[in-house]
């Protein structure tokens, strides 16, 4: 459960209340009251620990607070202390104060949660009103509900007409149905917003309907445009939700504002006045009259009335209002799928069964393709990479390993034989020529070639022209072998690179496949939900900045923000708190989450617009990129 502003603020006030009470207890404790204080301390301390608000605890319900209040009253009634200023009384006030703070935290937390729900419903109806596809889907989804409403209206009207004492109508006559369901009532039965009625009060509308209150001509014309009527209905609910949201914003801002002046650390007097002021303010927001007396019994009675009547009644009234303005139920929105899914499933299964031979062939081909992909493009390339890394040998070769050596030895022998036959060279000279041949020097052969080329015909028949030509051909072959050998060495030096380049496409395909499978594992709508929560957080920051930039006339001389603006900001910061603890937050790094929540608390606790503006700028600057708000 994520923390909330209400529980954090109540915990901070509880710490301040404890500090004040500790000073009072130390000051008022005397030797005469030590025995009484010792006897009562155990029960009071246990009750205080039970009631005390903690920010990380789950929000307490009003039923739990009623039980805690009853437990507190029993302890107070069992107290033996009579002196209003003694240490035991200070502890009693501490107990009542903690219960008041728990009630305050529960009321503020519930109001903020309800306001967030109102915003979500408002966004739903805004999407319905601005998107024709969503609007048509909504109209189809709610058609059965509208038909049922029409049936109830017709039944009620027929009962009224047939029970008339003067001239009862017959159900066998068509005129009876025409009178029971005139055109105006027909249209308003489908779209009750036309007469200002909620969808939950149709029976009252049908019995108290006055056709003269609505233009029949106008309704008949609108009958031919159900899309327009549905859009008007969505806009009407959006308008009502905005009004409810405005009331909740004022209530939240008022509750948050009063906590700033409670239990100030510099106070050294009884907290009774602050506790009474807090309870009086809680009664005021519930349209109740709370006692302003700084009396323990009066505060306890006010708490009992708040927990038993005022707060439950206020929350129930808001819940009923919100329920009438909420989106249709899940069953209403899902009935088209529930009805048509079996039909589509039946025909789909039938088609698959009829095409089982083709599907089997496709399946076999797919399996073979996948197997070939993994063996030929993943396993074998990876195995070759491992072999290259371990041994360095490879099958990559352009020419044989001994080809160059044999060609070079042949060239040496040809030149040596040429020198021995033509020039009668000694063995020392032949060894010298052979060493030059290894270096690529064929000067002796080329000189003979230059001499023979002067008389090519005679040299070709009687000379050494053909022999020198063949030696040069062998020299070209050796040069080509040397070049190929250099290329082969270069390829072998880059063999690992080529292996990784060859396997890279397969790895990319596998990575994309695994990402797709992981998204399916967490749920088909997980990515969409993450993006929606990220967009919602971005919208909250934007809304806070718009609120701060909007200049209202409701400011006092100290430039403090008004209750409504404060309420708007606290609602949006609660959305951001929820976002920080959700899957939409892009990192599970606890440090980043703590830093993000620290900035949110600065927005909640600051009382000046200028400081809040700086915090908003810091959030945009610090978190837009880490939270992927920039593409939005």
- 195 DSSP 8-state letter: G
Going by the DSSP 8-state scheme, the letter that residue 560 receives in this structure is: B
Contact between 485 and 399 (Cβ < 8 Å): yes
Please say if the pLDDT value at position 603 is more than 80.
yes
- Taking 90 as the threshold, does the pLDDT of residue 153 lie above it? no
**How far is 578 from 4, CA to CA, in rounded Å?**
9
> CB–CB of 388/499 below 8 Å?
yes
On whether the CB atoms of residues 472 and 480 are closer than 8 A, the answer is no
Cα dihedral sign, 466-467-469-474: positive
Locate 423 and state its tokens.
């020039």
Please provide residue 435's backbone torsions phi and psi, each rounded to the nearest 5 degrees: -65, -35
Residue 305: both structure tokens together: 């009335």
Task: Give, in order, the Cα–Cα distances in Å from 351 to each of 338, 339, 343, 361, 363.
Answer: 21, 20, 12, 16, 16
Average pLDDT over residues 93-104: 88
Mean pLDDT on 242-266 = 86
**Mean per-residue pLDDT for 504-520?**
80
Tally of CA atoms within 13 A in the half-sphere of 81 that contains its CB: 27
List the structure tokens of 597: 């929540």
Determine the Cα–Cα distance for residues 451 and 192; give it in Å rounded to an integer. 118
Helix axes 226-258, 132-141, angle to 10 degrees: 100
Contacts of 43 (CB under 8 A, 6+ apart): 75, 78
Alpha-carbon dihedral 50, 55, 56, 62, rounded to 10 degrees: 60
Q: Which of 74, 59, 72 is nearest to 104 (CA)?
A: 59
- The pLDDT of 15-32, averaged and rounded, is 68
**Cβ neighbours of 272 (radius 10 Å):** 20
Question: What number is the average pLDDT over the span 296-309?
Answer: 86
**Residues 315, 110: contact at Cβ < 8 Å?**
yes
How far is the C-alpha of 117 from the C-alpha of 96, rounded, in Å? Answer: 32
Distance between CA atoms of residues 42 and 48, nearest Å: 10
Mark out the alpha helices in 163-201 (DSSP H runs): 174-180, 183-190
List CB contacts of 13: < 8 A, sequence separation 6 or more. Answer: 101, 104, 259, 262, 263
d(CA 95, CA 168): 68
Q: What is the pLDDT of residue 191?
A: 83
* Three-state DSSP string of 204-249: HHHHCCCHHHCCHHHHHHHHCCHHHHHHHHHHHHHHHHHHHHHHHH
The CA distance from 218 to 236, in Å, is 18
Q: Which of 67-71, 148-152, 171-175 has the highest mean pLDDT?
A: 148-152
The model's confidence at residue 553, banded by pLDDT at 50, 70 and 90, is very low
pLDDT score, position 268: 59
Tell me the percentage of the chain whose pLDDT exceeds 70: 79
Average pLDDT, the chain: 79
Lowest pLDDT segment from 218-232, 266-280, 465-479, 569-583: 218-232
Phi-psi region of 290 (alpha: psi -120 to 50; beta: other; left: phi over 0): beta
Question: Nearest 5 degrees, angle CA 462-CA 464-CA 467?
Answer: 130
Average pLDDT of the residues in 160-164: 71
pLDDT for 266 beyond 80: no
Angle at 51 between CA 48 and CA 54, to 5 degrees: 105
User: Is a pLDDT exceeding 60 seen at residue 213?
Assistant: no
pLDDT of residue 121: 94
């Amino acid at each position: 459960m994520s923390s909330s502003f209400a529980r954090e603020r109540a915990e901070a006030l509880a710490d301040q209340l404890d500090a004040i009470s500790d000073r009072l207890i130390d000051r008022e404790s005397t030797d005469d009251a030590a025995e009484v204080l010792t006897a009562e301390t155990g029960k009071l301390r246990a009750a205080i620990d039970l009631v005390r608000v903690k920010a990380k605890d789950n929000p307490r319900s009003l039923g739990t607070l009623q039980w805690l209040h009853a437990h507190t009253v029993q302890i107070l009634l069992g107290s033996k202390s009579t002196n209003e200023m003694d240490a035991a009384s200070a502890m009693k006030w501490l107990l009542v104060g903690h219960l008041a703070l728990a009630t305050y935290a529960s009321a503020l937390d519930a109001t903020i949660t309800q306001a967030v729900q109102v915003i979500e419903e408002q966004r739903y109806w805004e999407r319905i009103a601005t998107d024709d596809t969503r609007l048509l889907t909504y109209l189809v989804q709610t058609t059965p509900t509208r038909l049922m409403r029409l049936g109830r209206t017709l039944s009620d009207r027929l009962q009224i007409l047939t029970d008339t004492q003067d001239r009862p109508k017959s159900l066998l006559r068509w005129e009876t149905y025409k009178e029971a369901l005139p055109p105006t009532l027909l249209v308003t039965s489908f779209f009750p917003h036309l007469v200002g009625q909620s969808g939950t009060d149709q029976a009252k509308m049908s019995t108290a309907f006055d056709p003269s209150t609505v233009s029949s001509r106008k309704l008949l014309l609108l009958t031919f445009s159900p899309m327009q009527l549905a859009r008007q209905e969505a806009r009407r609910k959006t308008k009502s939700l905005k009004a409810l949201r405005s009331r909740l914003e004022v209530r939240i801002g008022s509750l948050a504002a009063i906590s700033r002046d409670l239990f100030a650390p510099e106070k050294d007097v009884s907290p009774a006045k602050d506790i009474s002021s807090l309870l009086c303010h809680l009664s005021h927001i519930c349209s109740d009259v709370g006692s302003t007396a700084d009396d323990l019994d009066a505060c306890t009675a006010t708490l009992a009335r708040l927990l038993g009547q005022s707060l439950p009644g206020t929350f129930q009234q808001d819940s009923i209002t919100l329920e009438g303005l909420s989106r249709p139920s899940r069953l209403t929105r899902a009935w088209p799928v529930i009805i048509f899914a079996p039909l589509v499933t039946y025909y789909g299964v039938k088609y698959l069964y009829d095409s089982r031979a083709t599907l089997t062939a496709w399946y076999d081909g797919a399996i073979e393709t996948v197997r070939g992909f993994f063996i030929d493009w993943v396993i074998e390339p990876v195995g070759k990479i491992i072999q290259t890394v371990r041994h360095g040998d490879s099958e990559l070769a352009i020419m044989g390993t001994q080809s160059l050596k044999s060609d070079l030895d042949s060239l040496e022998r040809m030149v040596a034989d040429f020198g021995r036959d033509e020039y009668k060279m000694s063995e020392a000279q032949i060894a010298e020529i052979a060493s030059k041949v290894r270096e690529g020097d064929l000067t002796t052969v080329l000189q003979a070639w230059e001499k023979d080329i002067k008389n090519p015909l005679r040299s070709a028949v009687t000379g050494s022209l053909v022999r020198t030509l063949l030696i040069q051909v062998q020299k070209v072959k050796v040069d080509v072998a040397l070049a190929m050998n250099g290329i082969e060495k270069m390829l072998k030096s880059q063999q690992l690179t080529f292996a990784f380049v060859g396997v890279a496409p397969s790895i990319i395909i596998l990575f994309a496949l695994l990402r797709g499978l992981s998204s399916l594992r967490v749920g088909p709508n997980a990515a969409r939900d993450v993006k929606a929560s990220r967009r919602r957080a971005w919208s909250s920051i934007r809304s806070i900045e718009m609120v701060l930039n909007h200049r209202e006339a409701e400011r006092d001389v100290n430039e403090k923000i008004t209750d409504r603006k404060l309420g708007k900001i606290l609602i949006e910061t609660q959305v951001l708190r929820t976002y920080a603890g959700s899957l939409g937050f892009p990192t599970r790094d606890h440090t980043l989450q703590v830093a993000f929540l620290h900035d949110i608390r600065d927005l909640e606790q600051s009382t000046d617009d200028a400081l809040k503006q700086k915090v908003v700028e810091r959030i945009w600057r610090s978190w837009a990129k880490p939270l992927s708000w920039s593409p939005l």
